[in-house]
Amino acid sequence: MPGYGFGYGYGAVGHARRAPLGAGQGGTPTPTPSPGSSLPLTASIVAHYDSAAIPAQADNSALAAWPDSSPTGADAVQADGAKQPKYRTGGLGDQPYVEWAGSSAYLNVASEALRAVLDGKTYTMLAVVEKLSGADNASVFGAGSGGSAPWLWAGAANIGWSATNNNGCVMPHGQGSGYVSFGVVSRAGYPDVAAASGLTRNVYRGTIYNSSNGPVSTTGGSNMNMGASAGGGAFPFKGRIYRIVIWDRALTPAELLQAEVYFNAVYGQTHPAVTHGRFLHLDGDSRSVGVGASTADATQRLPYKVAAGLGFPLGAYGLYGVGSATAAELLAKGGEIDGMAQALAALDPAIRHRLIYEEFFNARTLAIGDAMTSGTLAYQTARYVAERRAGLPAGAKIMGQSPIDHADQNLPSASGWAGYMRENWAALGFDGLADLWASALGGDAACPNSAPFAPWADGVHLNADGQTMQAGVIAAACTALAGW
């Protein structure tokens, strides 16, 4: 595994061997680590269920308690022997794991301190699981038993998040011979984008694959359970759980990657970006996020469609777009992309970076201007590209997009920005242009911008079929770009 530098000793089979949770991993601050040498922000961990920290017991024996290794002490327990999962040994990386058979087994967490974190709506929850064979909605960890109750779930085919804010969260995990790591990042507020009341991001293998404005829902006072919903055995999980970690912080993309690379080391895996050799960064507003395909199915949204069209597997692309973001706000928060790119470069400097960017609609009060005139859309766009060019590793390719159809009554006009981009994309700093305006998605500047004028879902955002068309234009432009 190139570029890891973990500082672990390796056994004969090449898997990292790690002692149970020790100093610096349950709430004690640690120095800034090299990629993967520890979990990030250990002082902010408020729950840590690590199978290696379970006191040793016989293989395939019933597990009555899974201790929380964080200072919170939110142990997961089950007094009823008929509802206890199994403690197993000899898993990935020679680590133990806890096995659920898809029955009524579950562990209960009664910590009010942990509930307060979840109800505060700002946290990160990550899980490492394996051998998934249950149904969708099979609860790994969470609260409640249905409706808006928040819990991470993993089934034989998909991963997801059960809560009110779950559009685009269901993703096929493509489980192979290794583990599936996934989770959610919630922020009760998101000052980086003024119009966003909060933010929910769905995570797979340390990368963000989906984003929704607004934070996750609260526990509603329901019990917290592991392995089934808090209704007491409903939505039973079937598979193996190695680890669940909860921070009282919204981890950044680079911090999410650090956690994932740590999991790679412990469980003997390789990150998808290392295997693929390339990583795709996606940034923009709600039309880049995929709003308009109003479904929980992430495969109906633009990020997945673009990545799939360009051959980037899940885990080898990341979404940073936020609904309602303006060009100025995307410029201001662009450092999170740079941080992720530099973390990937530290993981493996051979990874090649690609970025696809778009923002027009939320900048409609600006004049088009030019790349040298401050306060104009062209100037903000050129600055965004220049800063990403400086922050991404050498050799990165950046693709721009012209707007989709939109009435010209606002500034800047859609037709005017489309024409400017067509003539000046290189001066703006892009390596190429996906000219959506020249496709069936644009061109007359007279769209009534209201349903049911397909392919619009609501007059602003494209429906799933429209997003398929958009992804096709983007993929074709990228594929035609030399060196892509």
Domains of the chain (ranges plus CATH)?
42-252+262-267 (2.60.120.200), 273-480 (3.40.50.1110)
The predicted structure's pLDDT at residue 179: 95
- Cβ contacts of 32 within 8 Å, gap of 6 or more: none
Are residues 285 and 322 in contact, defined by beta-carbon separation less than 8 angstroms? yes
The predicted structure's pLDDT at residue 459: 77
DSSP, res 10? B
The predicted structure's pLDDT at residue 10: 23
The C-alpha atoms of residue 211 and residue 94 are separated, in whole angstroms, by: 35
The C-alpha atoms of residue 364 and residue 412 are separated, in whole angstroms, by: 5
The C-alpha atoms of residue 77 and residue 74 are separated, in whole angstroms, by: 9
- Cβ contacts of 241 within 8 Å, gap of 6 or more: 49, 51, 97, 98, 100, 127, 128, 129, 140, 226, 227
The predicted structure's pLDDT at residue 449: 57
The C-alpha atoms of residue 160 and residue 183 are separated, in whole angstroms, by: 8
The predicted structure's pLDDT at residue 227: 95
The predicted structure's pLDDT at residue 364: 76
Counting as low any pLDDT under 50, the low residues of the chain are: 1-33
Task: Quickly list H helices, 28-74.
Answer: none
The C-alpha atoms of residue 98 and residue 140 are separated, in whole angstroms, by: 11
β-pairing, 238-247 with 45-50? antiparallel
Comparing CA positions, the residue from 193, 192, 212 lying closest to residue 202 is: 212
Comparing CA positions, the residue from 107, 10, 112 lying closest to residue 51 is: 107
Element (H, E) at 280: strand 278-284
The predicted structure's pLDDT at residue 409: 61
Residue type present at position 454 = A
Overall pTM > 0.85: yes
β-pairing, 224-226 with 107-109? antiparallel
DSSP, res 130? E
Helix axes 335-347, 253-267, angle to 10 degrees: 20
The C-alpha atoms of residue 248 and residue 358 are separated, in whole angstroms, by: 32
